[in-house]
Structure 1
Amino acid sequence: MALKLDVITLGAPEVPAARAFYAAALSPIVAGTGTGSGTGDPVSLDMHGTGRFELSATEQPAGPGFRGYVLSYVVNQPTEVRTVMEAAARGGAEVLKPAKKALFGSFSGVFRAPDGAIWKLAAATSKDTGTPAETPHPTETTVILGVPAPKTAKVFYEALGMTVDRDYGNKYVDFHPAKAATRLCLMERGVLARDAGTTKEGDGFRSIVFTCRAESREEVDALLTAASAAGGRITVPAAETAEGGYSGRFTDPDDFLWEVTH
């Protein structure tokens, strides 16, 4: 039994518009048109085996300011960072940090998508080492949670079976991702906001849900029990779903929302 980050759901006021933006900017494998009734049916975005995202309609507006997380899209070369940044800007994204050489020889840029989510584009090197891809695909996707104390948040996720990869105390912690899943990272909220080119102020609805797909109903129950025992809060007890599945929800001690489903 171990918590894993199988799907990240981003809330969007207009799913068709969000689908069009992400399809053009990040070039995922898209499933679903987002042109159903209301504001659009959910749309699945497969990041070429490095994580899965879903765009889902929400009528609840996100809280103002920084939402407390940054999504990261890692590519091979600097020119690929520029290519994605330019595509995002053409699609209506707000550039928070132009693409340029960063610390320790890396290369990165940051934008805020039209739906409000902040994305950091990065390459591990500051110089191209080969022919850049015309349509870049990610080598990894991550989500970095801005928390008051990464060391404390680490203990919670370890209690749910996650294995630490890199641990720099209260500076930065991340976990080994499951196969084809997004990596989960922890950073102090103010440091993360500055790195993203924004301020740390912000509260209210974050418009993001993390989903773990359990292998059995018993595993759903076990993960919810472990989350509660470790300091999380059960927001929706495990129960049958209308589609015949079984799921429940909890928030971690920093109020990030998770769904565990089978």
Structure 2
Amino acid sequence: MEIIESVILEVADPDAAAHFYRTAFGLDEQLRLRAGQAPSTGFRGYTLSLTVAQPADVNALLDAALDAGATSLKPAAKSLWGYGGVVQAPDGAIWKVATSAKKDTGPAGRRIDSVVLLLGVADVAASKRFYVEHGLTVAKSFGRVYVEFAAGASPVKLGLYRRRALAKDAGVPVEGTGSHRLAIAGGAGRFTDPDGYAWEAAAPAPVPAAGF
């Protein structure tokens, strides 16, 4: 089963972006950052989600992100599925923080249960077939609406969602052109999917020094 090793964000200032993600979310191994300013306007077509245990944790992470320089796209609120909100990082990436729980069961914390990369696609069924052919395993599938792939030992889960629906969920207009400013590193190899999302080979693990 192929898995995602990390998500690569192309940003104008990698040092500033690294500081933001450590300060706001405590993320490190799930993300890689590299310099890049390829032309990009509007919605980049994807969102990243952090799932947590309770509403208090959602608030703690969103507050930390806003204090670190993020912009609010959707304030935290209750919904039929739980509780969550959406922010845009200074580098332009859109992040949703959410929980399926509707009540707190303990003090607020900033523990993240999972990181989910949602790709907005034109045809969910066609993209699902493409990814299955490239070695990914379907975990959940809801027709032409949503697909989630098995994560295995991956630090990042992958899902497919209709682009228009994903933009609505993020609270932004669906229009967007140019680069996604995103790449996905994993064991599936180097390729580009039908919607222009690029995959790269995962970086090899460092070779231990002699005697270690």
Instruction: Give the match's secondary structure for 1:19.
Output: helix
The residue aligned with 1:3 is 2
Residue number in structure 2 paired with 1:212: 186
- Give 1:160-171 correspondences, 5 Å limit: 160-171=134-145
Q: Report the equivalent of 2:175.
A: 201
8 Å Cα contact 1:69/1:145 also seen in 2:
yes
Aligned to 2:207: none
Query: CA offset at residue 62 of structure 1?
Result: 4.4
* Unaligned residue ranges in structure 1 (runs of 5+): 29-44, 47-51, 214-222, 225-248
Separation in structure 1 between the aligned mates of residue 7 and residue 87 of structure 2, nearest angstrom? 18
Q: Which whole-Å deviations, capped at 9, do the CAs of 1:65-116 have from their partners, x for residues lacking one?
A: 0000000011111011011111111111110000111223x11100010000
1:141-160 matched pairs, under 5 angstroms: 141-160=115-134
Larger radius of gyration: 1
Q: For 2:176 and 2:95, how far apart are their aligned partners in 1?
A: 17
Measured on the aligned residues, the alpha-carbon RMSD in Å equals 1.4
**Is the contact between residue 5 and residue 178 of structure 1 (CA under 8 Å) also seen in structure 2?**
no
Contact 2:3–2:154 under 8 Å retained in 1: no
The equivalent of 1:127 in structure 2 is 103
In structure 1, the residue matched to 2:77 is: 100
1:135-183 deviation line (CA, Å, top 9, x unaligned): x121010100000111111111111221111111111110110214211
1:94 counterpart letter in structure 2: T
- 8 Å CA contact retained: 2:3, 2:186: yes
Please give the alpha-carbon distance, in whole angstroms, between the structure 2 residues aligned to 1:195 and 1:73. Answer: 14
Aligned to 1:110: 86
Aligned-partner Cα distance in 2 for 1:157–1:185 = 11
For 1:173, the equivalent position in structure 2 comes to 147
Matches within 5 A, 1:179-190: 179-190=153-164
Percent of matched pairs sharing the same residue? 38
Q: So what's the TM-score if we normalise by structure 1? A: 0.74
Structure 1 residue 258 corresponds to structure 2 residue 199: yes
Partner of 1:41: none
| Structure 1 residue 3, shift from structure 2 partner | 2.8
Partner of 1:54: 32
Asked whether the 8 Å contact 2:43–2:174 carries over to 1, the reply is yes
Counterpart CA distance in 2 for 1:160 and 1:206 is 21
Partners of 1:16 and 1:25 lie apart in 2 by 14
